Structure 1
Amino acid sequence: MPDPVSAGPATSGPDWPALLRQGTGPTQAAFRALVEQTRHYHGYSPDLVWGSLQTRAYAEEVLRLVVDLHAVPRDIEAGAAERVARARYIGQDGRTYHVLLGEQALLTGIGGPAVMRPQLEHLLETMSSRPGLRLGIIPARARLTVYPGDGFGIFDGARVEVEGYRGGETITDERVHLFHRAFDRLRESAVYGEDARAVITSALRAT
């Protein structure tokens, strides 16, 4: 993993709550800009498919749930378009992405089988077609060496973004090291390659 003190994206994060009040389009556009300037990414998503690996239909369903909860403008199509646009950066110009998904992310019922089946098929395809992507799956019954927590992303080793019901939070202080340690311990429980494909395939068969 990159040195947490290495140079990275600008450390002053956007005002995520203010952007969200404008709608999902502006929020996702700002996040895509962050992804574009990031060279090395490490992320953990325990119960949703990571944003850059989402299909358009999956992204629309997730953002619909966000809009309904936060009562913000219903610009779902604009937000989904910005979200799926992040995929273009995977492997581009030497960028690297090390992503951990909890098995629950493969099982969470976003949009029902009509949305989940293509999403899981997309994950299987992406694993073998995207250079620079390392995808690990943490099986539901894997023994953990750190307690479960919120999903998070580490951008160029120096900036962390955490999302939840409370909205987005940007962390650039000494707590960044904590997320590096958490990621390192989470990946100890992950499976990769054919073992990861087997977990995804099992979820697909059960969908």
Structure 2
Amino acid sequence: MTTPQARVHEAWSTVLRNGTGPVQDGFLGLVQRTKDSRHYCAELVWGNLQTADYARAVLQRVVNFHGVPDDIEAGVAARTARAALIGRDGRSYHTLLGEQALRARFGGVEVMRGQLAHLLAATERAGLLLGIIPSRAELAGLPGHSFGIFDGKLVHVETIASGLDITDEADLAVYEKAFALLQRSAVYGDAARDLIREELAALR
């Protein structure tokens, strides 16, 4: 019997060779199988909460950077389909965004206005707990890179060059600890909504 790898490292040049659609379909499948997921995104809005226009702008940059087939609309459809799973079948989502994720612009002012309004509405969604880490917050731990934890059994990390799936128990424990520390620095509810409204008002 072959022992499953505790860390699976795949270069984007290989993963994206057929475009963004198949990759996003695969990720949609992972989200569909997951009951409890936690995500930390420092500088980008989490995929499940992206509007179609925002996702299109992000994936356009992926296609341009990696020089892969341009099937962006297929990627957008699969990515935005994840949002329909929020609040369904007992799934729970706990997402932490860095305040910079509200400020980094993808697709221009109107796209960001739509994205921030979408985030504002999402704070009221059942099954979703959205926290925002203010840029001036005192951090209880190191900010590090963005990551997702799926049912406490898999961590997915995306770097510029590749994607990494981690199932090693010791590594999982490190990410669990990191999320718990980052959570201490986040604000929720009205305080999170105030930060989103401030960024909406600042858009020019």
> SS at the partner of 2:16?
helix
- Determine helix, strand or coil for the equivalent of 1:168: strand
Q: Which residue of 2 aligns with 1:3?
A: none
Distance of 1:56 and 1:180 partners within structure 2 = 30
Which of 109, 115, 128 aligns to 2:105? It is 109
Q: Distance in 2 between matches of 1:102 and 1:30?
A: 26
Partner of 1:80: 76
2:101 maps to 1:139: no
1:57 aligns with 2:68: no
Contact kept, 8 Å, 1:24 with 1:75, in 2: the verdict is yes
CA drift at 1:12: 8.3
Displacement of 1:126 in angstroms is 1.5
Supply the distance in 2 between the matched residues of 1:13 and 1:162 (Cα, whole angstroms).
10
The equivalent residue for 2:155 is: 160
Residues 90/12 of structure 1: CA separation in 2 closer, same or farther (3 Å cut): farther
Residue 177 of structure 1 aligns to a residue in which SS? helix
Residue type matched to 1:200 in 2?
Answer: I
Q: Over residues 39-58 of structure 1, what are the superposed CA-to-partner deviations in whole Å (9 max), with x where a residue is unaligned?
A: 00011000000000000000
DSSP 3-state at the match of 1:47 = coil
Answering whether residue 43 of structure 2 is matched by residue 43 of structure 1, we say no
Q: Secondary structure at the match of 1:150?
A: coil
Find the aligned partners of 1:160 and 1:179 in 2 and give their Cα distance: 8
Partner in structure 2 of residue 122 of structure 1: 118
Query: How many percent identity over aligned positions?
Result: 52
Question: Mind listing any 5+ residue stretches in structure 2 that lack a counterpart?
Answer: 1-5
Residue 3 of structure 2 is matched in structure 1 by none
Corresponding position of 1:189: 185
Partner of 2:171: 175
Q: Name the CA distance, whole Å, in 2 between partners of 1:118 and 1:159.
A: 32
**Does the C-alpha gap of structure 1 residues 96 and 188 become closer, same or farther in structure 2, counting only changes over 3 Å?**
same
Summarize deviations over 1:146-187 as a string: whole Å, max 9, x none.
122110000001100001202211011021111000000000
Alignment RMSD: 1.4
CA-to-aligned-CA distance 1:123-145 (integer Å, 9 cap, x gap):
111111x2110000000000001
Letter in 2 for 1:49: V
SS in 1 for 2:37: strand
Q: Is the 8 A contact 2:32 2:85 kept in 1?
A: yes
Give the match's secondary structure for 2:17. helix
Q: TM-score, normalised by structure 2?
A: 0.93
SS in 1 for 2:84: helix
Change (3 A) 1:38 1:98: same
Letter aligned with residue 179 of structure 2: F
Partner of 1:69: 65
Deviation per residue, 1:65-95 (Å, 9 max, x gap): 0111111111111101100000011111110
Shift of 1:19: 2.7
Q: Which structure 1 residue ranges, 5 or more long, are not aligned?
A: 1-10
